[in-house]
Amino acid sequence: QVQLQESGPGLVKPSETLSLTCTVSGGSISSYYWSWIRQPPGKGLEWIGYIYYSGSTNYNPSLKSRVTISVDTSKNQFSLKLSSVTAADTAVYYCGRLVGATTIDYWGQGTLVTVSS
């Protein structure tokens, strides 16, 4: 059974960079796409971007200038960096496995990141 676990700081200061890592267990990171999604408190889901295990990426146009997603196959992990954060970036951040760049079949439990000074 594939499991995903997000990790990283729960509090980030405005204008700084949010950094999260997703660790995949129970399966290999190879041959799949891996995605980040976020959900502001009380609101809907927003796709941030995805990465193929080989390293190719695709980002949400609205966040593209601030987002970097990377993968470390040796550690079975992939990571998110979101720069110049503001309070609007406060959200629960989920990582997920994306099948065929189409459907998210496995999700992490999510981690709340608050942007505040």
Partner 1 sequence: EIVLTQSPATLSLSPGERATLSCRASQSVSSYLAWYQQKPGQAPRLLIYDASNRATGIPARFSGSGSGTDFTLTISSLEPEDFAVYYCQQRSNWPPGITFGPGTKVDIK
Q: Which residues contribute to the site for partner 1 (CB under 8 A)?
A: 35, 37, 44-47, 50, 58, 60-61, 94, 98-99, 101-105, 107-110
Under 8 Å CB-to-CB from 107, ≥6 apart: which residues? Answer: 4, 94, 95, 96
Cα gap 36→34, rounded to integer Å: 7
Q: How far is CA 25 from CA 52, 76, 115, in A?
A: 17, 7, 29
Toward partner 1, which CB reaches closer, 58 or 83?
A: 58
For partner 1, the closer CB: 5 or 73: 5
Least Å distance, CB 16 to partner 1, is 26
CB of 40 to partner 1, least distance (A): 13
